[in-house]
Structure 1
Amino acid sequence: MKERTQRLLTRFSSVNSFLTCKDLSTEFLISERTVRNEMALINSFLAENGYPPIKTVRGKGFKLSLSAKEREDLLIKIGDDRTFDYYRPNERFLALLLDIVNPLNTTFLYEMEEKLQVSKSTLDEDMRRLRLFLKNHGISVVSFPKQGVVLQGDERSIRSMLYRVISSMTDIDALFRVQNPEVAVSALEQVVIDYLNPKAIGIITELYDEILVKSQMEVNYMYRNQVILFLGIWLRRMQERNTLSESAKVKNRIKEGPIRDLIGSLCRDFDLDPPLIEMDYITLAIESFNPKDMNNSIDWITAQLLAIQLIEHVEKITGIPFSQREDELYEGLYKHITGLLSRSKNDIQATNPLKDTIKASYAEIYEAVTCFKKQIEEHTKKPLSEDEIGFLTVYFSTSASWMKQEKRAVYQAVVLCSHGLSTGRLLAANLKEHFDIDIVAVLSSHEVSFIDKLDVDLVFTTIPIDYRKKPLLVLNPILRESDKKEIDSFLRKNKDKRRMISTNLDATELMQDILKLIIDSGGKVTKESYQKAEETFKNHHLKINTREIQPMLQDILKNSNILLNQACKDWKEAITKAADLLMEEEAIEASYITAMIKSVEEYGPYIVVGKHLALAHARPEDGVNELGVSVMSLKDPVYFGNPDNDPVRLVFCLAAVDSYSHLNIMRNLIDLINDEEKVKRLIAAQNIETFNKVLYGSQKNY
């Protein structure tokens, strides 16, 4: 049975509702005529194996009526029927690449003709395609009389290339289900499985779940299998003694923690003794897939600037008021962009298996995000892939779906998703948008046991699981029209499970009144007490718009923290002089100034965020006592080394205590970054009163 026929039959075998020709045409990217031709092939297969045919009902579509046992048996038979007697073009490409990259093989092209069962002309065309592809990655293909065909190039480039090829050409989830004998894999996936070694992948998976998941580290399940794949490639290259050049710069930033424990366990299990540069490399790679808070990244301010600007941009283009749900949207975008910036430094591109569906389902938002790619690329210095645009679109689509929800839901359910928490949240938002469903929790495929602990009536999952305690429905992560019909039928069948619940209330003013009452009574609102109050409100389904509570720039920037027309011999003195104002009032320690200078020395002039404008900062743990801002204009320009925005004439110094309390200040600074004329007027200001009038307009009394 052809692969497309197999996939169509699998679709029919997995649902109880009708599927129309239009639904299938859109879903499988084929014409309606092709769908009808495939129906004939499928019905022949069903007849040969003793199953009833797919029936056509006018006005409804196609439907395969089978018992649960028949469906289970048919799915197994479909997998067994896949033919492996020849390789398709993509399969040949990957098989050829992995044969060449494997040092245990000696690849001679005349032998590959027989192995791949193709003619010399076909293999010559495959090699031409492969050479062109590798050239774009800075890798060359060289032939030697005794060694055969080999790759030559930078080791980082080869690893990144292998990761991109495997993740883009295969179903990564299927690669890591090989231990289940009932799961059929394609010939393409089998090639990869053989290269990576199923036993090695099994050990990596077990260690990943045992160390990272059980350590309660904030793991992004969207990337779990991609991290395991990357580790598998790293392990294979290390075992083959293909290591990074010792001449490369080592930052020696490896810290104790779950990721370090994972790498250490892998090295012990596989008897590896990697050099420091390898430990640093693989640590950074894993962290880029699981970004925590700003404390683990030098790019946290850049990520915040981009997240805020992206929200404003997409809201302007689409007209959707995303600022109404900005808290959740911003947090998701900020963490994702932090990881994106880190991955770009390591030449790693995350793969989004749902990008085409996302692009088709949320075209307006996708196009709006695409229009912002240039701003992101200015920081990554690399093209922003459609995969990453798809990920960013998911956060906006989820937010838009929640805003369309009705005020009351009548079912309580849990969503289980194998593609990651953000995709699971999108499915949850869509379920609540289109149906009377309240999603209590979104779980990963490794948290099935938690279902029993939740007060839910229904289970929606993107992967088949053996769970029979509550009604369960398997869905596609991005809802299709056929899925909506299936859900509607499922809900009608379980209408006795409906219940009434209350919705969140906007309690921003109540929160503000309580904080004011604490202060008026002689108390003090600390970071810890505020976070506890915020968590209490959320636990009682009371919504808080933190944007209204956070201070603005004019609330924090004191006149005593403004210096004008100062003379500085270089950028180090400029940072120090601006920061001294905050140190004098004990908002920061001297260590914070040292950290700011050291960061620029190590990572370059990334703090020059706009034309003639620098935003000096370091991490909160480097010596911040309280939120503070200072600013200084320079009599003579100072060069930081930024070719686009030098020379600097205006230096802001930001001391942030966490990731969120200063966001309104960041919005004020973004407005300034986008207004070069205003920056020029600030530089020209000769007194603080004029400076404030330019900076705030009519927003502040003097």
Structure 2
Amino acid sequence: MPLKTPFLNARQRGIIDALLRAEGRLTLTELAKATGLSPRVIRYNMDLVRAWMQSLKVEFVSRPGFGFEVLASRAQRRQLLSNLSQLEDTDIILTHQQRVRIILLNLLTSREPLSASRLADAENISRSTIFKDLQEIEAWLGDFGMHLMRQTNRGMWLECPESSRRFALLRLIRQEIGDSKWHLLSGYFRSDNRYTDQSISTRFENLINSLPLHFSRRLVAKIEASLGRTMALRSRVEIMVYIALAIQAMQEGRWLTGEVDPVVEKTIEMDVTRLIAYDIAEWTGRALPPAELELITAYLLSCKWAYSTNTALVNEDYDHEINEETLQLARDIASLCSMQLHPMLKIDSELIEGLAGHLGSNIYRIQYGMPIRNNYLDEIRERYPEVYRSAEDGAKIIEKRFGKPVPAAEIGNIALYLAASLERLRTEQGVRHRVIIASDGVRAHPTLLKARLEYEFPQLHITQVMNNFDWDQDPEYRADVILSILPLQNLPLPVIEISPFLDEEDINAIQKWINEKNREIREKSLISQQKTSLVDLLKTSHIVIHDGFDTWQEVVYAACQPLIRDHDIEERYLRATSRIIEEHGAFMGLAPGMMLLHAKPTEGVNQLCISLMKLRQPVIFHNAETGPVDIVAVLGAVDNHSHLTALFQLYSLVQNQAFMADLRAALSPADILRTIWRWLPNVHQYQPPSE
């Protein structure tokens, strides 16, 4: 017997609507936020929601600790939303987010102040609900530099530049439609169809159909044909909608004013904008003022391009994104952030070129206040807090250059480039697991075995080959595993007994150990999210005071010795550090007179470490960017994150001249450590920005 479909009240329909529109599962907290209901109310209504799903044979998962998820195709979801909207009204039931967007839409399109009573009557929203939503609305408007003004007996209105109002409307339409359908708009307006979407409110559907999107789409096609390039799909939609909003605004008498940037005026994109301006003038009945031309041009300069249809323009496309100005900005950001994250970032050409290419287009968005999207901003802040903090400092270079604030979304983008560079430090070919080969005394056996291991397992580093293995003679062997041709027992390291021929069974045994070791490393990595402080890392035995040296090579050797002695780094890390200085110069000056020595984590770092050496007589380094050096630190990082707190603290300390004076006045390693202890509480720890 079929189940009877239960009657649903407004709350239950709102819950079902939020579930059907969700991309994947929703936790109870997320569902509460989406519906504007409390978790208690949602739990109270969930039985009827579940019954409604069952009556329509919809698979619905509702489980503590998991949340809620409707398992249905997009077509099924659209049909269910249609069924839901027809239960009582011809319009869909508004979620909390939709309600906020409708209030914003009224504020952004009204030419006069709106009273709460008038807004409540027009949209069937209670006055108390409107006032409850105002704080969230003001925060949203603040992202565009807009201010919500309120006055008793007058109402609410916005104070903002016209360009900001257009940007906000563009973002609002995109949020209502959703990212998954946003890019489809370009294809939809290829013909003169009326736009329909049952998942959005009628208010937004009417707005979209009031815009001249069919016309603006033809203008975008004309732009692409004139430039000989095809825009990336999302850029095409964004420019299409912006031009439509601009035309509508101009028809309403909302014109942009101001002088044109002479740099923008001389671009090819401005020539193309002038070409389509004739078409727009015919549509609006008035010639476009220079400020309108400039903003459309800025959009063209900021957009992403899919490919070039004109081979002569292929190299120009790349040069347009990466020029000397953006390269210098990228170098300056990499240089600053390398002092806080890892010295190798300063010479990471992939980081610098990637960041320069990104800034080539996004600089115009920053200059003109255009929306910058970053759907992963919260996750970036959570996963890479120190990297994001460093990106904030890097963004100040852009702000100083252009006199415009860099939005959090763009800081998040910069952080991703920095995080990628840190990831490359640990993923490039290098050594992770150290191996001792224990032989049976026949020298030919380990020779063959070593060659076979190097071929099959390039991630293994063979530190020693021992023909007469005796742990008792030297218990200080540094390795992760012993691969032995002869039986060995009762050793402090794991032993894998194998054949010198390295049979398939031997390969499987070694691979199993590698997998277990990698899992152990990952688990330790998770634990190390509680980052190591400088005072936890720096030991008295790793601090050296010396009279001085004749050459920088001697300085590097002496500064690395405490870490080599304790097996924190290997000799090859010293050689790699010297090689970097020879090839790139001593570029890592943290402060006047202070140098940070380093190499990649894969070049012989056994555990996170740092050493410090003070010279009574300064030394000149090879191609040093700073002057004579009298304080040298050596950093050994094992991954892309565990050293960040300590390096940030060290960088922050050495920027203080009074601290550097105290450091230089210290007479012993213990004095140096006490100086750091005394000054470290003055270093502010990074706190993620509050929402």
Instruction: With the length of structure 1 as denominator, give the TM-score of the two structures.
Output: 0.44
Query: TM-score if structure 2 supplies the norm length?
Result: 0.45
Larger radius of gyration: 2
